[in-house]
Amino acid sequence: MATLPSGERAKPLPEWNGGLSGRKSARKAAVEPMIPPVDTPKKTRKSRASQKDATPVDEPSEVKRPKTELALEIFRNLERFPHCLLLTRVGQFYESYFDQAVEISRLLNIKLTSKSWGGQRVHMCGFPLQHLEKYLKVLIRGHQKSVALCEEFRVPNPLSQFERRVTRVLTPGTLIDENFINPYENNYLLSIGCPLSNQLEENTPIGLAWMDVSTGDFFSQTATLGTLHDEIARIMPKEIVLDEQLKTHKDHAVFRVLAEKPSVFLSYVANSGDDAVSITQEEIPYSDDISLPAPILPRYASDEATAISLLTSFLQKNLLEHMPRLSKPLQQGSDARMQIDAHSLDSLEIMETMREGGTTGTLLSVINRTNTHSGSRLLARWLCSPSTSVSEIATRQNVVSFFEARPHLRVDLIALLRRIEDTARIVQKFLAGRGAPDDLRNLATAIKLWEELRERLTLERKMEMQEQNVLIGWETVDALVSRMASLRELSQRILTAVLINEDETEIGEATPEDPVDPLVAESTPKTTPFAMYKWTIKPEYNPLLEKLHKKLDALVKEKENLELDLQARYFANSLSLRASPQLGFHIHVKKRQASKLMANSDEFSPLSESGSTKTFFNQRWFDLGTGIIKTAESITEQERAAFSELREAVTKETQNIRKNARIIDELDVTLGFAELAVERNFVRPVVTEGLEFHIKNGRHPSVEIGLLNARRMFIPNTLSLDPDARLQVITGPNMAGKSTLLRQTAVIAILAQTGSFVPADSAQIGIVDKVFSRVGANDDLFRDRSTFLVEMLESAEILNRATSRSLVIMDEVGRGTSISTALAIAFATIHHLYTNNRCRGLFATHFHEIVDMLGYNEETCRAEGHFENIAFYCTDVDERPDGSFTYSHRLRPGVNRDSHGLKVARLGGMPNSVLEVASKALEHLHGSTKTQWLARAAELRSLGERLVRE
């Protein structure tokens, strides 16, 4: 490996090239110019030759370590990163050798070859530079592999030497700016800090820390082992990090929880303590609250601090040279957010549908009216963690009401928001030492649009004052917008420096498909041999850069004049001045125009010829071309320095950029809520500190849109969970809407506490601390769990965790076992909800015997005795004289003792013979007289009373 002069660093090839054209990926991995051909690195050319001439290998073989510099570097990196697949850049390729080449070729479905190395054949595979992101996606997302990326760096002296080092390890949770990151969702890396002891209880405290490396969003909180599964479902991490010591504790309780999420990538890291990574105190953590942030830095519990330390240690170990500066994590308290357990997130289809697992038809997809990627991510976070603060909810609602009342303002702001790039991810690129001129332009444009948005609001304010002489509803919006920092100076500096039109000073056009260095590719007479240069910094950025551009323009003009002069003097209009890695600077001319005078001239030395052309060396063109290259390289260096200055200017404003971006996200989400309210006729709910829950003509937003698409109307329902009827038992036929009613009740509560308006005529909701949904269940064959066991596990979680402020919806508890056992479990569950949890809840069932055990009074439709605060409602089937029927979907007081299951069976296409037999059996089982039924009801009521007394 070449030795660098004291104090000098190797010049990295993969960084921004200060104006090299080609594919975006190729620009990121810019190649230094390599003319004349004597400067072309032999290793690069050898690598290409080895790829071309390599032969397939059928069986891996035991190899000794070759003694070449590249081989030794690869072995060192394989030993340093044994848990990773190593990709090593060699010229214009990323390559893999030895046994890993076999695995990588199989995973990527690329050709496995071999090369002669140190007197033996070794496995080898590789792919061109521009395919890197495509194959990273396959390895990381498709196969969940860790990839160590070894980049190639040019040593300043001598130019023909390189050094290589791993600059970053890519894992599912440490992606920064890869194109395959979903812009609409966070890419979280989660660490868990927990005691190493195997004897942990459900209430054992643990710490959580999670971060989206692509945006810089950083959070932490305390939790318990019992709630860990729900927190993971809410955060939806792409990767989870544990203490390395847990590798020897495979029976640790945390692994039982993680077994519920087998698809999440699991990693380990040694805990380096609190000093693993310096976390800046500059930036006060920001909440997801529209109100002002609390200027108090948090104190972390020991397990929470451990989780933060694990996370930062893991980031430092993997991001290496791209490790960004971290701000203090935002500490989230469980009491400040509505808790939605994992089963409820699934069954309510907040983020994914239960059947297909996609996003179409989810609550998020149905209500999302955001206009920016970051706004969409914030909305998802609010939906999974609604607020429990009445003041915070009211503040969000105020902004929604403000925009709802101003349609013209909404239209103008939406048009501005749609043009704003993802500034959170842009600034994170710069903090990680990455980014490109495009990112600078997008950031400057975003800042300009922020200013335009503020100016539009100011204009609206002024117009309203002139027209009405009073301002209504402006307090919250004024407070929000006033927090935005002015970054006009930064935007102006970027726009003054960076070219907006990428073509305005371009010399020629690159050929992005060419895997070799675009600078030395053959050019046509219409272009110059310097197609790789595409300038991004304006010449007037500084005097030296302007001087270099003038010099380059003069040299290029001289080149054009020389070409015209030679064409005229030698009567050869096909003559062109070119450059290539094989021939260097040369003259290209058609053979029929290569006259004897030209061939015998001292100006030209023959280099090569083909069937139709000849090439010559010309000293004047060599000197002139060398001057152009050196000048262009000087411009490149100046542009690189200018870009570094601008990047530093951006990073200095990180706090203000992030703060403004958060405010814009909040405006985007609330503006989207206003659009949704107008479009779908949602109303503003009244959210209080009480326990009331009143919904007038509520609707399920997802089901309603599905019916509207099918040209059908949704039947709304009214619901009141008063303190004297806080638990309601709902009976009725299959297909009559019981499950929809239950789900819409929970969904409306979630929407209300995110700050959104809700699908109803009116709504008054006391704060809900937790939502639990036991609606629908499937067996879990992988873990040997029957449908009934899954149902019991979910029910147990509700009964153990629900509080008096919780909202519980339960459907068909006990259906997976015998009728008598199911009836017993259902009754006991209601008894526990009523007596112990004392929560607001809806309990749907087909076991009408339960209503008798609860002391149902048919006249009042209420329970008597111990369960006096239970009310009974039902849905119906409307029978027609011709034997047909319709579902009313309307909720009414009372009990429906017929499930009408045979009607559903007929709709499902059951054979008539089966239906006839079933009808006769049902008639017998139900009994033929009302006297028998009344006797049975009295018996069940007596049983219920005795159970309560005992």
> pLDDT tens digit string along 308-320?
999 999 999 999 9
CA separation for the pair 279, 487 (Å, rounded):
24
Same-domain check for residues 914 and 817: yes
Mean pLDDT on 226-243? 93
Residue-wise pLDDT tens digits, 789-804: 888 888 899 999 999 9
Q: Identify which of 455, 442, 547 has the alpha carbon closest to the alpha carbon of residue 500.
A: 442
Residue 69 is encoded by which pair of tokens? 């510099």
Instruction: Find the helix packing angle between 619-652 and 543-569, rounded to 10°.
Output: 150
CATH number of the domain encompassing residue 56: 3.40.1170.10
Query: Is the domain of 639 the same as that of 667?
Result: no
Residue 139 is classified by DSSP as I
pLDDT for residue 336? 85
pLDDT of 838 strictly over 90:
yes
In a domain, 348, yes or no: no
Residue 196 and residue 249: Cα distance in Å, rounded?
Answer: 8
Out of 26-40, 327-341, 888-902, 909-923, pick the least confident: 26-40
Mean pLDDT of 708-732: 91
Which pLDDT belongs to residue 135? 96
Q: pLDDT-based confidence at 748, cuts 50/70/90?
A: very high
Rounded to an integer, the average pLDDT of 926-935 is 57
- Residue with tokens 């230094």, as numbered in its chain: 32
State the pLDDT at residue 373: 95
Q: What is the DSSP string of 796-858?
A: HHHHHH--TT-EEEEESTTTTS-HHHHHHHHHHHHHHIIIII--EEEEE-S-THHHHHTTEET
Contacts of 75 (CB under 8 A, 6+ apart): 65
Highest mean pLDDT: which of 195-199, 270-274, 731-735, 871-875? 871-875
d(CA 587, CA 785): 77
Residue 889 lies in a domain: yes
For the cut 60, the answer to whether the pLDDT of residue 20 exceeds it is no
Q: Is the pLDDT of residue 933 over 90?
A: no
**How far apart are alpha carbons 821 and 708 in whole angstroms?**
41
| pLDDT reported for residue 104 | 96
CB 94 within 8 A of CB 87: yes
**Looking at the domain assignment, is residue 415 inside a domain?**
yes
The phi, psi pair for 513, rounded to 5°, reads: -75, -20
- Is 369 contained in some domain? no
Per-residue pLDDT tens digits for 487-503: 999 999 999 998 865 44
198 has pLDDT over 60: yes
| Cβ atoms < 10 Å from Cβ of 678 | 16
Domain containing 568 — which CATH number? 1.10.1420.10
Q: In the prediction, which pLDDT does 298 show?
A: 59
Q: What is the CA radius of gyration of the chain?
A: 35
Residue 358 lies in a domain: no
Instruction: pLDDT band for 783, please (50, 70, 90 cuts).
Output: low
* Same-domain check for residues 166 and 204: no
- Write the DSSP string, 649-703: HHHHTHHHHHHHHHHHHHHHHHHHHHHHHHHHT-BPPEEESSS-EEEEEE--HHH
Q: Residue 524: helix, strand or coil by DSSP?
A: coil
291 pLDDT higher than 90: no
Over 80: is that where the pLDDT of 465 sits?
A: yes
Provide the number of structural domains found in the chain: 5
What is the C-alpha separation between 56 and 300, in angstroms, rounded? Answer: 57
* Judgement on whether residues 838 and 898 belong to the same structural domain of the protein: yes
Whole domain around residue 157: which residue ranges?
11-170
Tell me what pLDDT residue 620 has: 93
Q: Are 947 and 827 in contact (CB under 8 A)?
A: yes
Same domain, 139 and 225: no
The most distant pair of C-alpha atoms in the chain lies apart, rounded to whole Å, by 125
Mean pLDDT taken over the chain = 83
Amino acid at 649: A
Nearest to 488 by CA among 537, 441, 451: 451
Neighbours of 421 (CB within 10 A): 18
Confidence of residue 522 (pLDDT cuts 50, 70, 90): very low
CA–CA separation, 587 vs 566, rounded Å? 10
Q: What is the edge-to-edge ordering of all strands in the sheet holding 584-590?
A: 576-580, 584-590, 613-617, 605-609
3-state secondary structure 203-258: CCEEEEEEEECCCCCEEEEEEEHHHHHHHHHHHCCCEEEEEHHHHHCCCCHHHHHH
- Rounded to an integer, the average pLDDT of 873-886 is 76
Of the candidates 260, 264, 266, 263, which has an alpha carbon nearest to the alpha carbon of residue 247? 266
Sheet harboring 188-193: ordered strands across? 265-269, 239-243, 188-193, 205-212, 218-224, 330-331
Alpha helices, DSSP H, located in 19-123: 24-28, 42-53, 69-80, 98-108
pLDDT at 155 exceeding the cut of 90: no
SS3 at position 767 = coil
pLDDT attached to residue 524: 30
- Residues 864, 852: contact at Cβ < 8 Å? no
End-to-end CA distance of the chain: 85
What is the dihedral angle through the alpha carbons of 538, 540, 542, 546, rounded to the nearest 10 degrees? Answer: 100
And the tokens for 866?
Answer: 């111990």
Separation CA 563–CA 523 (nearest Å): 14
Task: Answer yes or no: do 317 and 445 share one domain.
Answer: no
For residue 260, what pLDDT band results from cuts at 50, 70 and 90? Answer: confident
For residues 118 and 394, the model is more confident at 394
Are residues 323 and 393 both part of a single domain?
Answer: no
Tell me the C-alpha to C-alpha distance, in Å, between residue 626 and each of 216, 576, 842.
45, 16, 82
Specify the CATH number for the domain of residue 850.
Answer: 3.40.50.300
The reported pLDDT for the residue numbered 279 is: 53
The pLDDT score that the predictor gives to residue 734 is: 76
Look at residue 514 and give its three-state secondary structure. Answer: coil
Shared-domain flag, residues 732 and 590? no
Confidence of residue 785 (pLDDT cuts 50, 70, 90): low
Banded pLDDT at 302 (limits 50, 70, 90): confident
Alpha-carbon distance of 251 to 653, in angstroms, equals: 47
Identify the band that residue 163 occupies on the pLDDT scale cut at 50, 70 and 90: confident
Q: What integer is the mean pLDDT of 244-251?
A: 88
Residues 198 and 160 in one domain: no
Instruction: Give the integer Cα–Cα distance in Å for 466 and 392.
Output: 31
| Band of pLDDT at residue 295, cut at 50, 70 and 90 | very low
The answer to whether residue 489 sits within a structural domain is no
Question: 788 with 933, same domain?
Answer: yes
The Cα 579–Cα 561 span in angstroms is: 17
Cite the DSSP H helix spans in 342-436. 342-347, 363-367, 373-384, 390-404, 407-417, 423-431
Which range (488-502, 566-580, 740-754) has the least confidence?
488-502
Residue 765: CB partners within 8 Å, gap ≥ 6? 685, 686, 687, 688, 692, 693, 694, 695, 748, 749, 752, 753
Q: State the average pLDDT over residues 264-284.
A: 65
Cβ count within 10 A of residue 295: 7
8 Å CB contact between 153 and 163: yes
Confidence of residue 512 (pLDDT cuts 50, 70, 90): very low
Higher pLDDT, 82 or 902: 82
Contacts of 740 (CB under 8 A, 6+ apart): 700, 703, 889
Do 272 and 238 belong together in one domain? yes
Give bridge partners of residue 56 from the DSSP assignment. Answer: 113
Q: What is the mean pLDDT of residues 901-921?
A: 79
| 263 band by pLDDT with thresholds 50, 70 and 90 | confident
Contact 740, 774 (CB under 8 A): no
Residue of 306, 422, 888, 328 whose CA lies nearest to 668: 422
Report helix, strand or coil for 201: coil
> What's the rounded Cα separation, in Å, for the pair 228 and 240?
12
What is the rounded average pLDDT of the residues 770-776?
Answer: 89
pTM equals: 0.84
Q: Is residue 397 scored above 90 in pLDDT? A: yes
Q: Is residue 711 part of a domain?
A: no
Lowest-pLDDT choice from 459-468, 671-680, 859-868: 859-868
CA 34 to chain centre: 40
Tell me if 830 is assigned to some domain: yes
Same domain, 667 and 646: no
Decide which of 104, 138, 170 is a domain's last residue.
170
